[in-house]
Structure 1
Amino acid sequence: MLNPEVAPGPFTDLDRFVFESWGYLVIPDVLSADEAAECYDASQRLHAARDREFGQIGRGYETESCLERLIDHPAVLPKVRGLFGDRFILQASWNTMQPAHGGVGGWHQDGSSAYNFNQVGYPVPLIQLRASFLLTDQTEPGTGNMELIPGSHRSQVPLPPDIRTNRGDVPIGHVICAPIGSVLLFHNGVWHRTYRHDGERDRYTAHYVYSPPWVRPADRFTNSEAFLERTTPMCRALMGEFDRPDAPYGASYEPLPFE
């Protein structure tokens, strides 16, 4: 099956071409099976108090060290840097659960329903770059995959309302089939949905959303002081902890502490 697969690590000219063309990349072999299993167990703990239905929980990195390590994963962060430059933040981290035998989700673009990103300009600007760590095997369709419409971040027209209302299929939908431990990195403007899950085991995915430093965080009103004290300088910077946040996010905002 055709996938826009790229190598982990440095963001290459070919990576940029593929991303600009399709709106997303698939990075295989980011997590080992053991690392993915550790993150899966952590995800189960996060969702333990919830009803067993589709949903998401933020800030899991504050209590689960294995999820904290994904914030600046060396296989993924260079791709984010290649697209955003040296100044960006972790705008949100969401851990999602799709129960076994769950149906398809609704088609949507990421952003804010209070003021949709397509109102900012055309093409839809890159304001949220999502890295989705697959914690279950999704090499076959019907395993809680993500389905995306390639290149739809550049469409001048929205997906028809009847398709969205009825959660209908589209002839150019691309169901991402990738092994456990892969990462899907995609543009907020790409139309996408959760595909059906026919399996017997609940599906968990760890999402990390990166944005320019002036975007308001979505999973928190403030950062946990306890987390900031114990985490790494890079993760602290990615939380948006910089001086004079009321300044125009240029001269006063230091680049991330890359080596």
Structure 2
Amino acid sequence: MEPSSLQYALTEEERQTFNETGYLILENALSPEQVAALTKEVDHIFETKVKAGHDTTKALFHPNFIPDHQLFLDLLDYEKVLPKVWGILGWNIYLYHAHMIVTPPSGAEQNDKTFGWHQDSGRMNIEMESEPRPRMSLKVAYFLSDISEPGRGNFWIVPNSHLNNTMVRPESGIGQLEGAIPVCVKPGTAVFFDRRLWHAASPNWSDITRKVLFYGYGYRWIRTKDDMTVQDLYPKCDPIQRQLLGDGINCNGYYTPTDEEVPLKIWLKEHAPAQVGK
């Protein structure tokens, strides 16, 4: 982690936007060169899955992709993004979930069937008692394809819905939640969203294949959401990267960490003490 990353720290305007709407859009987070290189690796993975029998008319959900290539690992502590993540969640964080989605053209005609609206984290939304439920985690979605127009398998959201434990769904199964919008962005855009934000995938009715990488950051005491086989990466990682990949000394250290177990906190104490907090 270089001190130069602090120029990308979360601004107060960005904090207010995220807290009020539940999401934040960062245009040009990735350069065209980064988009091209990442797309090449995503295409390779998709082609491998197709050869193994994946149906090309359906979306590919591929978790645990970080070990697949160094480029994916490089985004773990990406200087334009991680400072905004710790600005929202603090320093006791790690990557608890990561998945790649490739959505080819469906070949189907566009319709108004209600999407699969949800908040992230499954039973957390049933078993938590508070109203609203706590944030707990967020995701960063890196878009590699051009979804600047609706109908391209866009990620749909309901802005400002993250403080609502429930939403009224159309009883007929036709139409979307009130206030729902498609996220329309250019390649290289990063979209941050609160896990509580009501959102949904949508069919790809276009002739463009949608490609996106999701990095889920949460508190270190949250269990992983998928079977992340990242331990073999530890030897080539620096201390902050190892923290972000879930490394620790013992189980209690995820709840009551010593400074040794959270090198991100130590780094912030040295370079940005005002951002350390509690």
Q: TM-score of the superposition, structure 1-length normalised?
A: 0.86
2:144–2:211 CA contact under 8 A, matched in 1:
yes
Change (3 A) 1:194 1:213: same
Answer yes or no: is 1:189 the counterpart of 2:196.
Answer: yes
Answer yes or no: is 1:173 the counterpart of 2:180.
Answer: yes
Indicate the SS of the match to 2:207: coil
Q: Which residue of 1 aligns with 2:239?
A: 233
Q: Which residue of 2 aligns with 1:4?
A: none
Change (3 A) 1:74 1:167: farther
Change (3 A) 1:224 1:17: closer
Q: Which residue of 1 aligns with 2:33?
A: 34
Match of 1:130 among 136, 139, 154: 139
Give the partner amino acid of 2:55. D
Aligned length: 248
Mapped to 1, the partners of 2:262 and 2:231 lie a distance apart of: 21
Give the partner amino acid of 1:129. L
Answer yes or no: is 1:57 the counterpart of 2:62.
Answer: yes
Mapped to 2, the partners of 1:98 and 1:83 lie a distance apart of: 30
Mapped to 1, the partners of 2:171 and 2:128 lie a distance apart of: 21
Q: Which residue of 1 aligns with 2:274?
A: none
Answer yes or no: is 1:69 the counterpart of 2:69.
Answer: no
**TM-fit CA distance, 1:51:** 2.9
Choose 208-217 or 137-146, whichever is displaced more: 137-146
Structure 1 gaps, min length 5: 1-7
Choose 59-68 or 87-96, whichever is displaced more: 59-68
Q: Which residue of 1 aligns with 2:122?
A: 112
Deviations 1:227-246 (A, max 9, x none): 11123332211011011123
Percent sequence identity over aligned pairs: 24
Deviations 1:151-193 (A, max 9, x none): 1111253333737xx3632341121111100011001111111
**TM-fit CA distance, 1:112:** 2.0
Mapped to 1, the partners of 2:151 and 2:238 lie a distance apart of: 38
Choose 100-109 or 185-194, whichever is displaced more: 100-109
**Higher gyration radius (CA):** 2
Structure 2 gaps, min length 5: 1-6, 272-278
**TM-fit CA distance, 1:196:** 3.5
Mapped to 2, the partners of 1:37 and 1:91 lie a distance apart of: 26
Choose 99-108 or 228-237, whichever is displaced more: 99-108
Mapped to 1, the partners of 2:222 and 2:170 lie a distance apart of: 28
Match of 2:164 among 128, 148, 155: 155
Choose 66-75 or 49-58, whichever is displaced more: 49-58
1:87–1:256 CA contact under 8 A, matched in 2:
no
Q: Which residue of 2 aligns with 1:5?
A: none
Mapped to 2, the partners of 1:127 and 1:117 lie a distance apart of: 14
Q: Which residue of 2 aligns with 1:91?
A: 96
Which protein is richer in helix relative to its size? 2
Deviations 1:47-70 (A, max 9, x none): 322332213112211021111111
Deviations 1:198-249 (A, max 9, x none): 322321110000001100011226x433211123332211011011123462
Change (3 A) 1:118 1:109: farther
Mapped to 2, the partners of 1:238 and 1:224 lie a distance apart of: 10
Change (3 A) 1:32 1:162: same
Mapped to 1, the partners of 2:235 and 2:254 lie a distance apart of: 26
Deviations 1:123-157 (A, max 9, x none): 12112200000010111112222110011111253
Aligned-residue CA RMSD (Å): 2.3
2:116–2:201 CA contact under 8 A, matched in 1:
yes
2:125–2:133 CA contact under 8 A, matched in 1:
no
Change (3 A) 1:137 1:20: same
